[in-house]
Amino acid sequence: MSRPLNWFFTDIDQMKLFLGILFDTDTHNELLQMLINSSSSYIENYCDRRLKSTAYDKDVAGDKERTWFDGDNSKRLFLREYPVTAVSAVEVSGATISAAESTDYYGSTGYLLYEDRGELFYDSGWDVGKKNVRVSYTAGYTEDSRQLLDLRELCQGLVAWTFNNREHLGFKSERLLNYSYTRADIREKWQKETLERYKRKVIR
């Protein structure tokens, strides 16, 4: 499955407002879109996760990386993306597993979801196997969430800094799309703190 069209953290109109560029001129549109693309990609690559709400389907070939897991007989399974807002299907070695009917859980035949960390707890244990646990789910931050507002502000700051300093970066406009940010380019302390706050946390 291809990345959803709305995965960027900001858009051209928002950046024009942020930079004080007149809306009735399209002189910088192509450049701004390239910078939005590269800044959004940088944020997700640094954080090692997809951050905007997206549905992942176990039956879609392009989603296998995020929906097919190796069972190891443990009771805990961590999904690739989080926070998880919905789980639509869970299979273990071809058998469908339902959600637990209550949080009075032990001895239940279903799984229990911990949304914020993307954990599925299954008291019977996830059967040992290669890619034998398959989960369809929705994960990421929604448009009206405080987290996505943080990420939008971060992206706008990265775009604005690069846009305002493009004459000093030694790049021609056609090369900006390939520009890779470095940590030294993240000028403000709040930008570093935001990136670290949303970086993937490994829970064991």
72 pLDDT more than 90: yes
Alpha helices (runs of H) in 112-188, residue ranges in sequence order: 146-164
Cα maximum dimension of the chain: 65
142 pLDDT more than 60: yes
Ordered by start, the domain boundaries in the chain are: 12-51+144-198, 54-139
Distance of CA 131 to the CA centre of its chain: 22
pLDDT score at 105: 60
Which of the four pLDDT bands, split at 50, 70 and 90, describes residue 101?
A: confident
Tell me which amino acid residue 51 is: L
pLDDT score at 183: 44
For the chain, the C-alpha Rg in angstroms (whole number) is 20
The Cα 137–Cα 129 span in angstroms is: 21
pLDDT in tens, 165-192: 877 665 444 444 445 555 445 556 668 8
Query: Is the pTM above the cut of 0.85?
Result: no
Residue-averaged pLDDT of the chain: 86
